[in-house]
Amino acid sequence: GAVVSQHPSWVICKSGTSVKIECRSLDFQATTMFWYRQFPKQSLMLMATSNEGSKATYEQGVEKDKFLINHASLTLSTLTVTSAHPEDSSFYICSLISLEDSNTEAFFGQGTRLTVV
Amino acid sequence: GQQLNQSPQSMFIQEGEDVSMNCTSSSIFNTWLWYKQDPGEGPVLLIALYKAGELTSNGRLTAQFGITRKDSFLNISASIPSDVGIYFCAGQTGTYKYIFGTGTRLKVLA
């Protein structure tokens, strides 16, 4: 399957600062990547779809001005949490879709644990 | 956001026992995927299902895509301690987006 590298694996930041999370596809050119958020003991919730060369598509209830997504190349998507607050503390995971013989499988990065203090 | 109903929510089993969990939805999905997530890690794909009625195995794991396309189950045979973790189902909507189940937390007692 596709190899997805996410960086950093964890970050602690002060309230009010911004944090950038990178998601790289190491062996695959991904025109589309997805960003998920997972709170403790809960499932993954899709935040947005990142499209290479165009604007991201955000799910209902996700603030696009707060969660900035940039998909500048086929191997890199970044999520920037702007003006972070403690309630933004969560586990953020990116994924990409691999298309083989028209079957789609989603592969995930190792996740980034964000703690806002 | 939308989620799939997954059951059971958690289970404790003895090593060597078989495990079964399922995922149901009111919507039809084109693809079902099953993932395992360890603490602090991203989900790892276990099994992918593409056709209604499809039954697929991966070692001790077996999963089926329900004939109505609204459900799927995952079985683990002869469980071992390293099977502990959280198992998620995920259903694909028409535009490559995946919706995740609520998760089944599995604990194996040696």
Contact criterion met (CB below 8 Å) for A107 and A23? no
Q: How large a percentage of chain B has pLDDT more than 90?
A: 77
Instruction: Compare CB distances from A104 to B31, B42, B101 and report the shortest one's residue.
Output: B31
| pLDDT tens digits for range A85-112 | 999 999 999 998 766 556 677 889 999 9
- A48/A59 Cα distance (integer angstroms): 6
Q: Which residue has the tokens 């950093």?
A: A8
B2 pLDDT higher than 60? yes
Question: Comparing A20-24, A71-75, A111-115, B59-63, which segment has the lowest mean pLDDT?
Answer: A71-75
Structure tokens of A69? Answer: 């997504």
pLDDT at B94: 67
Reported as a single tens digit per residue, the pLDDT across A35-44 is 999 998 899 9
| Cα A52 from Cα A71, distance rounded (Å) | 5
- What 3-state DSSP class applies to A86? helix
Looking at residue A98, its pLDDT comes to: 67
- Do the Cβ atoms of A105 and B102 come within 8 Å? no
Cβ-Cβ contacts under 8 Å, A43 against chain B: 3, 88, 100-103
- Please say whether the beta carbons of A30 and A52 come within 8 A: yes
Question: Residue B52: what pLDDT?
Answer: 93
CB A114 within 8 Å of CB A90 = yes
pLDDT tens by residue, B27-50: 899 899 999 999 889 999 999 999
Interface probe with B: pick from A44, A47, A58, A105, most Cβ of B within 10 Å: A44
- Test B45 with A1 for CB contact under 8 angstroms: yes
What is the pLDDT confidence band of residue A53, given thresholds at 50, 70 and 90? confident
Confirm or reject contact between A106 and chain B (CB < 8 A). Answer: yes
Tell me: the pLDDT tens digits for A68-91?
999 888 889 999 999 999 999 999
* Average pLDDT of the segment spanning B69-80: 95
